[in-house]
Structure 1
Amino acid sequence: MKRVVVTGMAGITSLGETTDDIFAQFHAGKSGIRYMPEWEQYVDLRTKLAGQVQSFHVAKHFNRKVMRGMGRVALMSVISAENALQDAHLLDSSLLKSGDVGVAFGSSAGSVDAIREFGNMLIDQDMSKINATTYIRMMSHTSAVNMTVYFGLKGLTLPTSSACTSGSMAIGQAYEAIKYGKQTIMIAGGAEELSAVGAAVFDVLLATSRMNDQPEKSPRPFDANRDGLVIGEGAGCLILEEYEHAIQRGAKIYAEIVGYASNTDGQHVTKPDTEMMGRCMQMALKDAHLDASQIDYVNAHGTSTDQGDIAESQATARILGRKPISSLKSYFGHTLGACGAIEAWLGIEMMNRGQLVPTLNLDEIDPQCGDLDYITQQIRVSNINIMMSNNFAFGGINTSLIFKRLT
């Protein structure tokens, strides 16, 4: 079995694009959630909150020809991948087109604008809005495919579209592709673009926050007074590499992936199963050859829904014991297909900085949640070596990743 390490990281969030910028916001207790006045047109939409990326840097070489097949989700994905490759000192490498480099990248869906173009055909019997790129921008594997074309990749393409585990599953599958010797390097992660449609998915389930007049107070993962999730957008990308290859070329190593597991509840599409969540964590521990006592910190899924928070926290406490835990969704909202990748990226950064970011707005821990060491109020300085990052999705799809800091 090959060892797998992280040699590059990048992303786009509602709090910035660099780790220094994002951590400055963490230290200031700032949230990326804002009120969305443009959603007022949707009268029946209860929530008007979102973690919107209001701007991100698009380099000049992303001209009209390059971007013609990219919707917003694909553009954020490719930019994040380019920045991660630059971080890994691989952007100009001949390896990219050798067949030894692949991509595993996911999102819940493609771009909503492209879906609207097909919608015009179905509703108005008018095909004038459809063009040669409409499907490319709409398809669920738009990010992965745009990457292969943009970078000229010839290796594996593993598109993951599993709702809220799209990003974490992509990282897990990329890890396994290298672990079992199929690829040397993998570009891995996830992305999602914001839309009122994405909010409506949860709104009809009565799972969204209605604190529209206090965007900075929501979401509130694990809090007794939480009233639902807030959706967001962004992208996260990790460059995974076979350990010996990384050492040979003198690469900077951020962390080693030592464990991954995924399973499914097999019971209900939207109701989480705490038993299967726990089993997934156990499977990841087994894959990593670790005992639960060796986990120093848990990067929670923490969506701020009643059922999800309770099921997840109880499973975590049952399997791992009273571990330090926090949820980054309190800052960015639920970025759906991007969340697993963004949380892995920033979780690794937390581990390397020795700074555990607290859950924002967690003022009163819900007594129904599991007995855990919830990090609140301020950043906790802590020397951690092993982190578990968990994500859970509609369809009962569970993922658990374990990262180790190399000292």
Structure 2
Amino acid sequence: MGQRVVITGIGIYSCLGANLEEVTKSLYAGKSGIVFDQIRKDFGFRSALTGMVPEPDLKSFLSRRQRVGMHQPAIYAYMATKEALEYAGLDIDFLEKTETGIIYGNDSTAASVVEAIDKAKEKHDTMLIGSGAIFQNMNSTVNMNLSTIFKLKGINFTLSAACASGSHSIGMGYLMISQGLQDRVICGGAQEINAASMAAFDGLGTFSVRESEPARASRPFDRDRDGLIPSGGAATVILESYETAMERGAPILGELIGYGFSSNGDHISNPSIDGQKRSLQMALKQAGIAREEVDYINAHATSTPVGDGSEARAIFDVFGEKVPVSSTKSMTGHECWMAGASEIVYSLLMMQNSFIAPNINFENPDEDSARINIISETKEQKIDCFLSNSFGFGGTNSTLIIKKV
């Protein structure tokens, strides 16, 4: 038996709200964060829909020197991590004197790279790009900025695994602590929402074009879905060993009991039912629980016909037809690199407040979604154990199981 791993803090900055309180209200109300963005249409996007996440002003929190190396992913992640640390009762004095790690999910820093190159082209002098550009441009921008700002002394790296990045970051933090290599790890995921970050994705033709009704465009599991909507922000989850959390008198929101993972080893973008099932089964086996003990599944379902159908079949094959399922992406859109972390935060908020957030816009099931128990309206329900799925390009799959302590 390794160390038990618990969650002692969470923070969120998303299209559903700028903090935990705002996000909880949005989840309960089934409120969408999707908007029409004229900038994208002018840019040449096929779809101008996006989850809208305002960029916060950090001047009241950080010095200019601290801010100079930060672009959207790091800025969003700072807000989420600040809230999570406050929740966990951790301050910089404590962090500087202890060994706290950070493993954060991030898979792009597109806009900052574009801006740096554009400036070099304009000035014909790379010396005028600015000293902060290199720290904004690197994929490890979140880790390098947050580890410096919060004086972190433990493990420090970025996890890049497409749309499963945030989930795998939590899984890796779990493994570090369970093996006794760290007492505490800050985990999470960040996703920029600027046009530069989503242009190539839009070019695949997988985004919804239901532009006349943005709030109804994201329709996971619904027969009439026509594609996903990109979104972003950041979510942070503080993991600690049970022993150190108890010693600190820290709040314990839940215990991470299972981390399943797999690789499809097949098509670079198409999902695999077999790969998803192996991830689900591994998480259940590691957690040591029966499938009937899972009270809720937060599905990866992004609102694409192939992806949603595959997951619905995988869930049915492993869990049957009874377990309640919803996809919070119906409200948020697909938060990409942060989704695996944000959906843990969303599910923990449901667990704390005894409700299941609705899979909004689910009006007509298809052959696959009709087989599982999709919750289309807010449901009052006690949740003692939940499971969250995250799947990404390249066939990477991650499943996390968390229970109340």
- TM category (shorter chain) comes to over 0.9
TM-score relative to the length of structure 1: 0.95
Find the counterpart in structure 2 of residue 63 from structure 1: 63
Matched, 1:339 2:327: no
Q: Which residue of 1 aligns with 2:284?
A: 285
- Quote the residue 1:185 is aligned against: 184
Contact 1:39 1:48 in 2 (8 A): yes
**What is aligned with 2:222?**
223
Evaluate the alpha carbon distance shift between residue 316 and residue 129 of structure 1 in structure 2; reply closer, same or farther with a 3 A threshold: farther
Residue 123 (structure 1) shift: 9.9
Contact 1:47 1:199 in 2 (8 A): no
**Structural RMSD (CA):** 1.8
- Contact preservation (8 Å) 1:17, 1:56: no
**CA separation of 1:289/1:388 partners in 2, compared to 1, >3 Å: closer, same or farther?**
same
Partner SS state of residue 69, structure 1: coil
**Within 1, Cα distance between the matches of 2:128 and 2:230?**
28
Secondary structure of the corresponding residue to residue 78 of structure 1:
helix
Residue number in structure 1 paired with 2:213: 214
SS state at 2:24 partner: helix
* SS of equivalent residue, structure 1 residue 153: coil
TM-aligned CA distance change 1:404 to 1:272, over 3 Å: same
State the match for 1:6 in structure 2: 7
Aligned residue number for residue 90 of structure 1: 90
Aligned partners of 1:69, 1:124: CA distance in 2, in Å?
20
1:258-407 matched pairs, under 5 angstroms: 258-322=257-321, 323-369=323-369, 371-376=371-376, 378-406=377-405
Distance in 1 of aligned mates of 2:84 and 2:386: 21
Distance 1:342 1:252 in 2: 19
Moved more, 57-66 or 147-156: 57-66
- Range with greater deviation from structure 2 (54-63 or 264-273): 54-63
- Counterparts of 1:63 and 1:112 in 2: how far apart (Å)? 22
Give the CA deviation at 1:320.
1.5
1:200 is aligned to 199
Deviations 1:337-358 (A, max 9, x none): 1111110011011112110001
C-alpha contact 1:4 1:241 (8 A) present in aligned 2: yes
Structure 1 CA distance for aligned equivalents of residues 294 and 194 of structure 2: 36
1:176 aligns with 2:175: yes
Give the total of aligned pairs: 403
Counterpart amino acid of residue 271 in structure 1: N
1:24 aligned onto 2:49? no
Paired letter, 1:173: M
Q: Deviations along 1:228-265, whole A, 9 cap, x unmatched?
A: 00001110001111101111221110000001022111
SS of match in other structure, 1:229: coil
* Residue number in structure 1 paired with 2:256: 257
Report the CA distance between 1:220 and its aligned residue: 0.4
Q: 1:40: which partner in 2?
A: 41
Structure 2 counterpart of 1:100: 99
Paired position in structure 2 for 1:165: 164
List per-residue Cα deviations over 1:93-118 (Å, max 9, x = no partner): 42x12452100101121251333323
Does the CA contact (< 8 Å) of 2:81 and 2:236 recur in 1? Answer: yes
The letter for the 1-side match of 2:25 is: A
Which amino acid is 1:302 matched to? Answer: A
Cα distance between partner residues in 2 of 1:59 and 1:247: 35
Is the 1:317–1:370 contact (alpha carbons within 8 Å) kept by the matching residues of 2?
no
Distance 1:106 1:115 in 2: 21
- Evaluate the alpha carbon distance shift between residue 334 and residue 275 of structure 1 in structure 2; reply closer, same or farther with a 3 A threshold: same
Q: Return the alpha-carbon distance in structure 2 between the equivalents of residues 270 and 121 of structure 1.
A: 34
Identity %: 33
- Structure 1 Cα separation of the partners of residues 129 and 370 of structure 2: 50
* Contact 1:136-1:142 at 8 Å conserved across structures: yes
1:117-132 mapped onto 2 (5 Å cutoff):
117-118=116-117, 121=120, 127=126, 130-132=129-131
CA distance 1:284–1:123, shift in 2 (3 Å): farther
SS at match of 2:166: helix
Report if aligned partners of 1:106, 1:144 keep a CA contact under 8 Å in 2: no
1:178 is displaced (CA, Å) by 0.5
CA gap of 1:76–1:111, structure 2 versus 1, over 3 A, is farther
Q: Any gaps of 5 or more consecutive residues in structure 1? A: none
| SS in structure 2 at match of 1:258 | strand
Q: Contact between 1:71 and 1:111, CA under 8 Å: does it hold in 2? A: no
CA contact under 8 A between 2:5 and 2:255: conserved in structure 1?
yes
TM-score by length of 2: 0.95
